[in-house]
Amino acid sequence: MKRFIKYTIATLILTIGWAIIVLNGLLNGWWHNPITKNKDTESFITEVKETTQKEFVGNFAMAIMKDGKVDKEIFISYNKPIDRNTIFQVSSLSKFVSAVGIMKLTESGKINLDTPVSRYLKRWQLPPSEFNNEQVTVRRLLSHTAGLTDGLGYSGFENRDSVQTIESSLTKAKDADKGISGEVRVGVEPNSTWKYSGGGFTLLQLIVEETSGQSFNEFMTSNLFTPLNMTSSTYILNDSLKNRLCEFYNSDKTTAPHYYYTSLAATSLYTSLADLETFFQIFLKGKDGEQIGRGQLVPESLKLMREGHWDMMGEKIYGLGCMLYIDIENNEDIFGHDGKSTPPINTAIRINPVTGDGIIVLETGNPDLATRIASDWVYLHTGKVDTLLFSMLLGKTIKIALVGILLIILFLIGVARWRKKRKTAANKGLV
């Protein structure tokens, strides 16, 4: 019995030690094989091109930003050529751009981040729940901490005429991803946990319309896109822009349909690489170190967007409408947003607010290539695994951990048997 307890304790100690090593390896990228180990732009672009030749992409546009300016651009297409003015749907990256528009409303005094959203709503209200709906605020909707449990995920509509009204979509989204109820309601205590909610941004879309007196697309166009001369950006594609829309593909290289959405703020932004390069510059700093905002937001609003509004395992993960990928110097984080939908659209933007460096990747036909490339850019420039790369490596890390634990157990079983044989032999006078 004593021997069993001794080996059990040894197994626990070695397993805990191995788990610490594996976790440290995950955080420091030991289990990650980046597309290149050289972070200079030319090497990075060369490896990106080689990767896109090995993996299918229908359309691919990427910009490397250096000190707030475009350093390099590359474009790859399976069929029709594309350029910096080609229009992509960017899926959930839309949330990041939408959040800037909502912050403009807070600066104008039309909404307050901490006022219950019910005060702004006339056309629709959150359904009754066992929790206090008055705890749902704009701040919590922007940071996915409002307690909404919709889990949306919108699949969109192949026919524009099938698109629901905002009110009916909030009540029950017909284009909810499979297995999702599509009902926007408070399902957990607000501010008690972080739950990604596409429905929360559709509710913010309604708030913009209620408080501005404009449609969401009109508000964003007149208050953000037009002032910044983002002439290729819209949430509702019109005929004049449609001829520049990129082609959509499935992963098997077949063409895919173009989907339309009720959830404009959450997932329906159409934009170009050139326009996103302009948007990127909102977050740059001037010579005095203050953020300039390109006349769109004051420095306080820009800083508030990228302040941590929720942590996981002690790491900041989300601000107001933007993801916080990894901490860097001066209490700052590389931030931005990714987008992913089906048929495969994957988009990513990463911004280093200290240096003004970053990356923008837009692609169709591959489910996660843009995110992997953007996360590799972060890893090469910081030596750290960002939030999304962490989640992508988690499965591989768990396998490594389990294999290590199995080897520890087999090793200790082997040691125990060897010692037992040795003891038996000694008792027989053989050793």
For residue 153, the model assigns a pLDDT of 85
CA distance 270 to 237: 7
Residues of the chain with pLDDT under 70: 1-4, 7, 22, 25-27, 29-31, 286-294, 389-390, 393, 428-431
* pLDDT tens, residue by residue, 86-125: 999 999 999 999 999 999 999 999 999 999 999 999 999 9
- E strand or H helix at 276: helix 273-280
pLDDT tens-digit map of 134-146:
999 999 999 999 9
Q: How far apart are CA 316 and CA 145, in angstroms?
A: 13
- Nearest partner of 208 among 349, 317, 316, 101, judged by Cα: 101
Measure Cα distances from 329 to 102, 152, 333, 334 in Å.
28, 34, 8, 10
CA distances to 42, 363, 367 from 56, in Å: 22, 10, 10
Q: Give the start-to-end residue ranges of the domains of the chain.
A: 2-29+400-427, 41-384
Where is 51: in which H helix or E strand? helix 41-54
- Percentage of the chain exceeding pLDDT 90: 70
Q: How far apart are CA 111 and CA 142, in angstroms?
A: 13
DSSP annotation of 367:
S
State the Cα–Cα distance between residues 278 and 290, nearest whole angstrom.
18
Q: What is the pLDDT at residue 262?
A: 97
pLDDT tens, 321-353? Answer: 999 999 998 889 999 999 999 999 999 999 999
**CA dist., res. 146 & res. 136, Å (int):** 5
Q: 3-state SS of 382-427?
A: HCCCCHHHHHHHHHHHHHHHHHHHHHHHHHHHHHHHHHHHHHHHHH
Gap between the Cα atoms of 214 and 220, Å rounded: 9
pLDDT of residue 424: 76
- For 347-377, the pLDDT digits (tens) are 999 999 999 999 999 999 999 999 999 999 9
The amino acid that residue 84 corresponds to is R
Superfamily of segment(s) 41-384: DD-peptidase/beta-lactamase superfamily (3.40.710.10)
